[in-house]
Chains A and B, each alone.
Chain A
């Protein structure tokens, strides 16, 4: 046992090699470098005065606004309202999307019913549904959440469906010959076998949810939310507040990716060798 553990960790992570710290630094540098370039260019444009300072604030101004709005609680309030809508809508998409996708993958009937519907509805931009949802469900949070759930369900459905189709027949046969019934075939074989695709679907769904949510917040007359902050700031030419809102969206997206998706992936499909790290 001890043997096996050491061999594997030696192969997984070249942990004891002296080059590790250096390669770590290099990878950080690679990630940061493009931002530095863009930042420098930004500052040059801002300082040059091509645009009025009101419309094209320096990074320093944006940062100051960002911290001021964070300190007085306004930015966190917007962010939390948006996050609640995002996660509620995305949860709907996750639950219904995975269920429908797997049903389509497992049952011919479900495939025949859902596939034409899904294929037609999926390519329509989320924003095109917005007026309908606002008319049906009224202005405000509720219809935003429903819309986010509806629109972001499509990539989840498609990928779950593909994932079930991609489950290797030989796994199903092995499980059958070892006596797996339908329920355990599902939980012990189909679900883990389709997981790489399901995770991809959820990722794409979340990106979709962001896009439509920020847009719909601008239209749904919600009192709080990052979309509303960005849109509302336009009236008073508060470009620094708009940019601060955009920064928050980027930060939340980054955190969800690094702390949620990558963690789940590393613990499952990467550890199982089904997806390269």
Chain B
């Protein structure tokens, strides 16, 4: 829905041991309604970049522009799913968590419950609407977090390895769901993952980041038609190409993960 420009963004963390670079000179543009995946080795700064885009960390240099306007802080236009399971409010049930954003918007209770139930049904948690987060598994909590970010309908979705804790079957279902939601709502999505197959399945473009201190190493367009078939030759080729960028040794027929 909205284009995003990431312009020479650098972020440094102040730690007792001195400054630690989170990301360094990162620049790329994201088109309106584009689905971007960010991949890169652990510790390269993917979560950091996402938090800068979300407006939680002010960059030391450079700026983020959303729809032409420089980002000055957090905003309701960006929904965030964090990497950390602890993001849910423990004092609210799954339903209460998902309806939080709607409550903040002032939507009446009956309606927000209806929307929240529907979102929980989409992530296959309709049986757990009244459960508190501590009674849900890590993967279930993460699905509640996704439902929560979708429920109040932000135009940009920032997702940090949201499916990493799921089993393969559930992950496939969730990827399908996300692809559907994205097709239907035309949100701009920035999605962090370790999983090459996931990136090829979901992304219009994949940003490959180098190891710490993270910079953009490659910007790869995935031009496969949708819905994508993970077993097709083209799909496997894309995966291989991406893995080569990540520094994997790719054998003749090997697909990773």
Contact = CB atoms under 8 A, between A and B. Distances in A.
Given A168-B86, A171-B87, A178 B100 contact: yes
A273 B78 contact: no
A170 B89 contact: no
A4 B128 contact: yes
Secondary structure dominating the interface of A? helix
Interface in B123-177: 127-135, 148, 152, 154
B45 interface: no
B75 to A, nearest CB: 7
A268 B75 CA distance: 30
Nearest to A268: B91
Given A8-B135, A178-B100, A173 B74 contact: yes
Interface in A169-217: 170-171, 173-181, 184, 188-189, 192-193, 195
Nearest to A175: B100
Contacts of B40: none
Interface string A106-136: 0000000000000000000000000000000
B54 A272 contact: no
B79 to A, nearest CB: 6
B49 interface: no
A188 B102 CA distance: 13
A177 B90 contact: no
A195 B89 CA distance: 13
A75 B100 CA distance: 51
Interface in A2-58: 3-5, 8, 11
B200 to A, nearest CB: 28
Interface in B47-98: 54, 56, 74-76, 78-80, 82, 84, 86-91
A173 B52 CA distance: 12
Contacts of A188: 100
A71 interface: no
Given A170-B84, A170-B86, A173-B80, A1 B130 contact: yes
Contact of A174 (B75, B87, B135): B87
Contact of B87 (A5, A170, A180, A268): A170
Contact of A179 (B84, B87, B104): B104
A271 interface: yes
A274 interface: yes
A177 B75 contact: yes
A271 B96 CA distance: 15
B87 A273 contact: no
Interface residues of A, number: 29
Given A173-B54, A174-B80, A268-B91, A179 B131 contact: no
B214 interface: no
Interface residues of B, number: 32
A189 B78 CA distance: 19
B105 interface: yes
B101 interface: yes
Given A1-B130, A170-B87, A177 B74 contact: yes
A273 B133 contact: yes
B195 to A, nearest CB: 23
A11 B136 CA distance: 12
Given A170-B82, A173-B80, A177-B54, A272 B90 contact: yes
Contact of B135 (A11, A173, A195): A11
Given A173-B74, A272-B90, A180 B104 contact: yes
A26 to B, nearest CB: 27
Nearest to B73: A176
A272 B132 contact: yes
Contacts of A179: 76, 101, 104-105, 152
A272 B96 CA distance: 12
B91 to A, nearest CB: 4
A269 to B, nearest CB: 8
A274 B79 CA distance: 25
A4 B130 contact: yes
Given A8-B135, A271-B132, A273-B134, A178 B87 contact: no
Contacts of B134: 272-274
Given A181-B104, A272-B132, A273-B135, 18 more contacts: A5-B130, A173-B74, A174-B87, A174-B89, A174-B100, A175-B89, A175-B100, A176-B56, A176-B74, A177-B75, A177-B79, A177-B154, A184-B104, A192-B89, A195-B91, A268-B91, A273-B133, A273-B134
28 contacts: A1-B127, A1-B130, A4-B127, A4-B129, A4-B130, A4-B131, A5-B130, A11-B135, A168-B86, A170-B84, A171-B89, A174-B80, A174-B87, A175-B89, A175-B104, A176-B74, A177-B54, A177-B74, A178-B148, A179-B101, A179-B104, A179-B105, A180-B100, A193-B91, A272-B90, A273-B90, A273-B135, A274-B91
